């Protein structure tokens, strides 16, 4: 009875995941192998055309563009978020809760509100342009809104708290005596960080990177609002297939490849976490 208790406690969560994640994913997978009806809808005839169409150079290019933007956003978010988490973990313990509160404060507002705020900031009459004029700049400012840079800024801003929390967890658990031992053995500050602290916090870095990448590559709100429809990401393409083109089978095929990419990244994250944990046990 005691051995089965954890299983009983997990049953509601497993039922929930099966009903609202596994079953919908299987339905989407099945849709990918049917044809689009003449007037939209689904024609239940088996075909591999939707899978083959995903590899068309046009759609493959959108996948690569989405991966580039998501990867760039995740990298920038990890660099900024890790530095912020390091500073919070190094602060006096009585102040860490307050600093974490301010780090996650943006989550208290709606995602759309945060994204619209960047439109106000980046447009030609916005806050940044106003500050530049106030400082005496009278030239033509480069276009900031409706560019790839604006999309990256929006994604980094919206998902940065995830990275801070993911990196703060391993940093706050580090034993300070390990760093002191490294310095006693002659390791400088940079050497201690690179060879001691950084390897021991790889799980947090990997988690933060995967969080931002997975959420960014499927995002369609930020590219639509800050990109101004100038380019498509895979999330916008899936949205258009389901709600505009009414081609659910092809939308399902695109979705399955997106899910496959996410699953691959989560597997890599698990591998990196287990490898880092194994290295710590060996030490």
**Residues 16-64: pLDDT tens digits?**
999 998 999 899 999 999 998 877 778 888 999 999 999 999 999 999 9
Distances in whole angstroms, Cα of residue 230 to Cα of each of 144, 223, 233: 13, 9, 10
Compute the mean pLDDT over every residue in the chain, rounded to the nearest whole number: 87
Residues of the chain falling short of pLDDT 70: 1-4, 277-283
Q: In this predicted structure, what is the pLDDT of residue 101?
A: 92
Q: Collapsing DSSP states into helix, strand and coil, what is residue 35?
A: strand
Q: In this predicted structure, what is the pLDDT of residue 279?
A: 62
**Which 8-state DSSP code applies to residue 105?**
G
Q: In this predicted structure, what is the pLDDT of residue 100?
A: 92
Model pTM score: 0.86
Structure tokens at 214: 């997975």
Work out the number of other CB atoms within 10 angstroms of the CB of residue 207: 22
Contact yes or no for 217/233 (Cβ under 8 A): yes
Q: In this predicted structure, what is the pLDDT of residue 78?
A: 96
Q: Is the dihedral of CA 91, 92, 93, 97 positive or negative?
A: negative
Can you tell me the distance from the alpha carbon of 261 to that of 200, in angstroms, rounded to the nearest whole number?
26
């Amino acid at each position: 009875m005691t051995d089965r208790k954890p299983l009983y406690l997990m049953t509601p969560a497993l039922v929930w995941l099966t009903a609202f994640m596994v079953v919908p994913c299987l339905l989407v997978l099945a849709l990918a192998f049917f044809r689009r009806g003449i007037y939209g809808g689904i024609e239940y005839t088996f075909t591999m055309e939707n899978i083959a169409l995903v590899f068309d150079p046009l759609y493959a290019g959108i996948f690569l563009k989405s991966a580039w933007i998501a990867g760039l956003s995740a990298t920038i978010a990890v660099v900024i978020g890790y530095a912020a988490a390091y500073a919070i973990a190094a602060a006096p313990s009585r102040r860490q809760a307050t600093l974490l509160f301010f780090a996650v404060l943006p989550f208290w507002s709606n995602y759309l509100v945060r994204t619209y705020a960047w439109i106000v900031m980046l447009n030609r009459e916005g806050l940044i342009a106003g500050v530049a004029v106030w400082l005496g700049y009278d030239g033509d400012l480069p276009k900031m809104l409706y560019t790839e840079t604006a999309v990256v800024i929006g994604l980094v801003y919206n998902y940065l708290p995830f990275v801070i929390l993911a990196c703060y967890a391993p940093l706050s658990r580090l034993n300070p005596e390990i760093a002191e031992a490294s310095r006693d053995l002659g390791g400088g500050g940079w050497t201690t960080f690179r060879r001691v602290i950084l390897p021991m916090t790889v799980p947090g870095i990997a988690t933060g990177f995967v969080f931002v990448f997975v959420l960014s590559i499927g995002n369609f709100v930020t590219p639509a609002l800050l990109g101004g429809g100038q380019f498509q990401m895979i999330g916008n393409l899936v949205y258009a297939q389901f709600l505009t083109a009414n081609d659910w089978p092809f939308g399902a095929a695109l979705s399955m490849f997106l899910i496959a990419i996410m699953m691959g990244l989560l597997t890599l994250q698990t591998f990196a976490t287990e490898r880092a944990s194994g290295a710590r046990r060996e030490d």
